[in-house]
Amino acid sequence: MRKLSFISFLFVLITITLSYAVVNFPYPQNITYPYGYNLTNVNTDDLKSDFQTWWNNFYEESSDGTQARIKWDDPNYTVSEGIGYGMLMAVYLSDNTTSYQSQFDKLWTYYKNWRNSNGVMNWKIYRFDYVDGKNGATDAELDVALALIMAYYQFGNETYKNDALNLLNAIRNHEVDANYVLKPGDAWNDKKNPSYFSYAALKVFAEFDTENSNFWNNVIEATFNDVLTNQSSAGISSDWYNPSNPSDNLGYDMSYDAIRTPWRVAWGYVWFGGTDAENYLDKIIPKFQNISPSDIKDKIDYETGSIIGSYNNSTFVGGIGCIFMRSSSYSTQLSNYYNQLDVVGDSYDLQNSYFSGSLNILYRLLMSGNMPNLMALAKGESSTSDTNTTTDTTTTADTTATTTSDSTALIDDCEDGDEVTLWGGVWYTYNDNVNGGQSTIDPLTSENNPFTMTAGGANGSAYAAHVTFTLSQGSLDYNPYVGIGLYIQESQTAYDLSTVDHFEYYYKGYSHRFRVETANITDYDYYGVNVVSSSVWTLKIVNWEDLSQEGWGESKPLDKTQVVKLSWQIQDVDGTSGELWLDDIAAPGAIPPEGATTEIKSKLSIKNPILNIYPNPFNPVTTISLLLPDSYKENNITISIYDINGKLVESYNLKAKANIKLIFNGNKYSSGLFFVRVKGDNLNITTKMLLVK
C-alpha cells in the first residue's frame, strides 16, 4: 500500500509528458576547446541543414535495411574512408530530436561485412556486392575506431567499446610498422601518407585502450616525427613520402591527400595541445595568413607553398582554414574561411561531391566547437564508471555514497570566506612575471594580501574561490600563464593522498589545467588534466588515471604519497582574459591531516531541511544536496530515487550530517522525470529532477 500511495503521489506531480532522443551530447555543443581557438557563434541550423543535404545525397541503405554505405564520387562505389566520415558525422550531428544511431549502426555493419582476414575493411567496394579494391586504408581504420569510441560516450552502448578495442587490436597488429610509424594500410608500406596521421584519434586511443597506452604514445611520437620531417620549409606536407626519408616527397605536392594533414593536426591540437602540433601549425600559418579563402585552389606546391591548382573547393578551403585554430590571433581568418566553406558547399560540394562535401561538414563541425572529445566531456561531468551510484536498479543498496557526503573528504567548501582550507592549508595565486611574462591575476596573493573568497558559490552556497586574469606574453618563449592553488596542509609540506579515490570540484569560467603537485617533481611538469571552459557551475571529477605530465620536463612517476598542492593553471595566447570560479574541492577516501576541521562549515543558519538538485535539468550527472539543522544530526535517513513509473532506481542509507552531497549519474538511464525522496525520523521531503539526454 505504501508503494501504491507513493506512485499515486507521483502522478499527481506529473502534469506534462516529455520525450527525448537518447543522446548524451546533443548537437549543437558550441563548446570552447581546451587548446587553441574556435568559433562558438556560427549558424548551427544552417550547418545541420547542409549536413542533411549531403547525407540525403550520399547515404544509402541496402534493400533489406540492415546495412548502409556512403556513396563515393563515382556513386557505384564506396570507400572505407567514407564509412569513417559518415560514422563521425552520425555521432556529432545527433540531437534531441533526431538521433543517427541507427544509421551509425548500419554503416558499421557495412564496414564489418567487408573486412578482410586481418579484421580491417577492404578499401573499395562495389555497391553492396563485391570487393573492388583489396585490403585496408589506415586513415579509415583510425576514423572508424574513433567514431566507435565517441559513439560509446554519445549513445551509451557498451558494444561500441568492445568493437573499438577489437579494431584497435587489428590496427596495432597490421597497420603500424616496426618503428611505430603508421603504415598506409595493412598490406603495403612502400610509401607513406602524412594525412593518415590522426593525432586526435591516436591520443584518444592512448587514453581509451589503457593496456596499450605506451604503444599508442610511441606511435604518436614516431609518426609525428615523420610528419614534421616531411613538412617543407614552406610548411607544406606532400601527398606521399619515402618511408626511409620523410623529407623525400617522391615528387608529390599537396593535393587531395596531403591537404587533410593540417586539419588532422589542428584537430588533435584543439583537443590535446602539444608542442609538435604547435610547431607544425606555426610553420604553415605564415604562408596563408594573408591569403583570401576564395584564392585557395586545389593544389599547392610542396617546396614553395605557391597555389598551383585550379578549383576553389571545400577540401582545400577547410584544410587550410583549420590552421587558424592555432590561437585567437587568427580569429578573423578562421571566420573568413568558415564562411567560404558555407559558400562553396552550397554552390556545388554538398550536392555533387562525396569527398569535398563530407570534409565541408567535418571541417565546419571542428571549427565551430561542435566536434568535441566526448570522452573528455564525459570524464569532465562524471566518472565513466558508475561508482557513485548503486549498481542494481531494482534493489536498495545499504551503502554510503562515495562523494562529499563524508565531510572529511572535503578539502574546502570556501564557506568561511578566508584563505584557510578545512584541512589547514592556504589558498594562493600566482602569475608568470618571475619568468618574464607580464600577466596579471586578481587577487594576487602575498604575505600581506591573503586570499579571500567571493560571494556566489556553487549550488546556492555563500562563497567560492574566484579570480580574474589577463595574459601577457612579455619576454616568454611560451604562452603566458596564471594560476590559483591550495596547499594540502598547514605546514605546506608533502602529504600522503594514496587513499584518495578521486578528486572532485565545482567550477565555472575559463578552461584550465587541474594539477596535482608532488614533491618528487621539481621542474614544474606536474601531473594534470585539461578541463574545458563552462559558463555554468559544473562538477569535475578527476580520477588518478586521468592525470599525465605534459611531456616537456623529466618523466617521473606520480607519487600519491608526496602531494604538496592542488592547482588550477590557465595558459593561453597573449591578450587572453577571463575568470575562473572554484568551489567544494574534495578528495573522497582521504585521511585529513591531524587537526583538520572535519565538520563542514556553513554560512547558512537553517531551521528546516533544504533539499536541492543542481544542475536541474541535467545530463548525465547532477548533485543532490541536503542541508540539515543540528537537530537531525546522527539520525538515520534514506535518500531514494524513483523513475516516472514509481520504480526505485537508486537508494542510499546514510547517517545524517549537516551537509550531505550525493552524485547521481544518469548515464545508464533514459531521459525523463525522476523523483528524489528523503525519509527519516520526522523527515519526509520529495522533489523532482529532469534527465535530458
The pLDDT tens digits for 584-597 are 998 887 888 876 65
Q: Are 114 and 131 in contact (CB under 8 A)?
A: yes
- Count of CB atoms within 10 A of residue 618's CB? 21
Fold (topology level) of 44-371: Glycosyltransferase (1.50.10)
pLDDT of residue 630: 66
Just give the CATH number of 407-586.
2.60.120.430
- Per the prediction, the chain carries an average pLDDT of 87
Q: Which helix (H) or strand (E) holds 530?
A: strand 527-531
What the block records as the C-alpha cell of 111 is 564496414
Q: 29-33, 351-355, 655-659: which has the highest mean pLDDT?
A: 351-355
In terms of Cα–Cα distance, which of 180, 104, 199 is closest to 142? 199
Question: Any residues with CB less than 8 A from the CB of 663 and at least 6 apart, and which?
Answer: 382, 388, 389, 401, 403, 504, 539, 541, 621, 622, 623, 624
Q: Residue 81 catalytic? A: yes
Q: How far is CA 472 from the centre of its chain?
A: 27
Side by side, which strands form the sheet with 481-487? 427-431, 481-487, 563-571, 512-518, 527-531
pLDDT, average across residues 149-159: 91
Q: Which helix (H) or strand (E) holds 651?
A: strand 648-655
Given a cut of 60, is residue 65 above it in pLDDT? Answer: yes
- Distances in Å between the Cα of 662 and the Cα atoms of 390, 503, 640 are 12, 14, 11
pLDDT of residue 443: 96
φ and ψ at 565, to 5 degrees? Answer: -145, 160
Spatial distance between the Cα atoms of 435 and 475, rounded to a whole number of angstroms: 8
Spatial distance between the Cα atoms of 613 and 663, rounded to a whole number of angstroms: 10
Q: How far is CA 106 from the centre of its chain?
A: 26
Identical fold, 2-18+384-389+603-691 and 407-586: no
Structural domain boundaries in the chain: 2-18+384-389+603-691, 44-371, 407-586
Given a cut of 80, is residue 633 above it in pLDDT? Answer: no
Spatial distance between the Cα atoms of 547 and 204, rounded to a whole number of angstroms: 14
In terms of Cα–Cα distance, which of 316, 264, 262 is closest to 294? 316
Spatial distance between the Cα atoms of 233 and 193, rounded to a whole number of angstroms: 18
Residue with more model confidence, 9 or 542: 542
Using 50, 70 and 90 to split pLDDT, how confident is the model at 537? confident
pLDDT of residue 173: 96
Q: Which CATH number fits domain 2-18+384-389+603-691: 3.30.300.30, 3.40.190.10, 2.60.40.1930, 1.10.10.60?
A: 2.60.40.1930
pLDDT, average across residues 448-454: 93
pLDDT of residue 562: 95
pLDDT, average across residues 199-207: 96
| Catalytic-labelled residue, pool 50, 95, 105, 139 | 139
Given a cut of 60, is residue 346 above it in pLDDT? Answer: yes
The pairing of strands 427-431 and 534-543 is unpaired
| Catalytic-labelled residue, pool 50, 81, 381, 419 | 81
